[in-house]
Amino acid sequence: MNTPVLQESLEELVERCTLAVETPGFAEAEAWKREAPCRAIAGCFPVYSPVELFHAAGMLPVGLAGGGNRMEIAHADSRFQSFVCSIVKSTLEQGMTGALSSFDALIFHSICDPARNLASVYARNFPDQKVEYIHFPQNLGTPEATGYLAREYERVMVSMSELTGRQVSFDDVRASISTYNQVRSVIRDLYAIRSDTPHLLKTRELYPLVRYGHLVPPERHLEVLLRAREGILAREGRPKDRIRALLVGSFCEQPPLDLIAAIEDAGCYLVDDDFLQGRRWFTRDVDAEADDPYYALADAYVDRSVPCAVKHDIRTSKADALVERARVHRADAVIVLCAKFCEPALFEYPLYRKALQAAALPHISLEFEEKMWVFDRIKTEIETFVESLLFS
Partner 1 sequence: MADLQYQGHLHNLQKELMAEYYADLTASAEGSGVPAAYLLIGGNPVELLRAFDILPVFPEVNALQLAVRKQSLPHIQAAEFMGYSSDNCAYVKADIGMYFAGRKTPFATIPEPTLLLCNYVGCNVYLDWFGHLSEYTGRPAFQLDIPFIRTQSGTPSRDDIIYVLRQLERLVELCEEITGKRLDQDRLRESVRLSSETGALWSKIKHLTKQAPAPYDAYFDSVTMMAPLYCLRGTPQGLRFFETAYAELAEKAAAGVGPLETERFRYVIEGPPPWPHLRTFRDMFSRWNAVAVASTYSTVGGLWEFGFVHDPDHPMESIARHLLEWNLTNRNFLQRYAQIERYLEEWNASALVIHSVKSCRLFSAGQGDMREYFTKRGIPTLLVESDLEDPRYFSEAQMRNRIDAFFESVGHRTAVQGASS
Q: Which is nearer to partner 1, 96 or 168 (CB)?
A: 96
At closest approach, how far in Å is the CB of 239 from partner 1?
Answer: 33
Q: Is 334 in the site for partner 1 (CB under 8 A)?
A: no
Q: Which is nearer to partner 1, 266 or 319 (CB)?
A: 319
Determine which residue in the list 116, 188, 202, 242 makes contact with partner 1, applying CB under 8 A.
116
When computed from its CA atoms, the radius of gyration of the chain, rounded to whole angstroms, is 20
At closest approach, how far in Å is the CB of 116 from partner 1?
Answer: 7
Q: Is 39 in the site for partner 1 (CB under 8 A)?
A: no
- Which range, of 146-154, 168-176, 182-190, 324-332, touches partner 1 by CB under 8 A? 146-154
- Among residue numbers 288 through 317, which ones bind partner 1 (CB under 8 A)? 310, 312, 314, 317
Determine which residue in the list 261, 290, 321, 351 makes contact with partner 1, applying CB under 8 A.
351
Q: Is 384 in the site for partner 1 (CB under 8 A)?
A: no
Q: Is 114 in the site for partner 1 (CB under 8 A)?
A: yes
Considering CB under 8 A, how many residues would be counted as binding partner 1? 53
Determine which residue in the list 3, 9, 23, 139 makes contact with partner 1, applying CB under 8 A.
139
- Which range, of 42-50, 327-335, 350-358, 382-390, touches partner 1 by CB under 8 A? 350-358
Q: Is 83 in the site for partner 1 (CB under 8 A)?
A: yes
Distance (Å, rounded) from C-alpha 227 to C-alpha 5?
7
At closest approach, how far in Å is the CB of 3 from partner 1?
Answer: 40
How would you list the strands of the sheet with 59-63, edge to edge? 59-63, 40-44, 105-109, 130-134
Do 276 and 254 form a contact (C-beta atoms < 8 A)?
A: yes
Determine which residue in the list 125, 161, 178, 197 makes contact with partner 1, applying CB under 8 A.
125
Q: Is 79 in the site for partner 1 (CB under 8 A)?
A: yes
- Which range, of 18-26, 120-128, 189-197, 212-220, touches partner 1 by CB under 8 A? 120-128
Q: Is 162 in the site for partner 1 (CB under 8 A)?
A: no
Determine which residue in the list 111, 190, 210, 335 makes contact with partner 1, applying CB under 8 A.
111
Q: Which is nearer to partner 1, 45 or 212 (CB)?
A: 45
Q: Is 323 in the site for partner 1 (CB under 8 A)?
A: no
At closest approach, how far in Å is the CB of 355 from partner 1?
Answer: 10
Q: Which is nearer to partner 1, 28 or 274 (CB)?
A: 274
Determine which residue in the list 30, 148, 199, 292 makes contact with partner 1, applying CB under 8 A.
148
Contacts of 247 (CB under 8 A, 6+ apart): 263, 270, 272, 273, 274, 275, 334, 335, 337
* Angle formed at CA 87 by CA 137 and CA 370, multiple of 5 degrees: 130
Q: Which is nearer to partner 1, 107 or 201 (CB)?
A: 107
Residues within the interface to partner 1 (CB under 8 A): 77-81, 83-84, 88, 110-114, 116-121, 123-125, 132-133, 135, 137-139, 141-142, 144-145, 148, 151-152, 155, 310, 312, 314, 317, 319, 340-341, 343-344, 346-347, 349-351, 353-354, 365
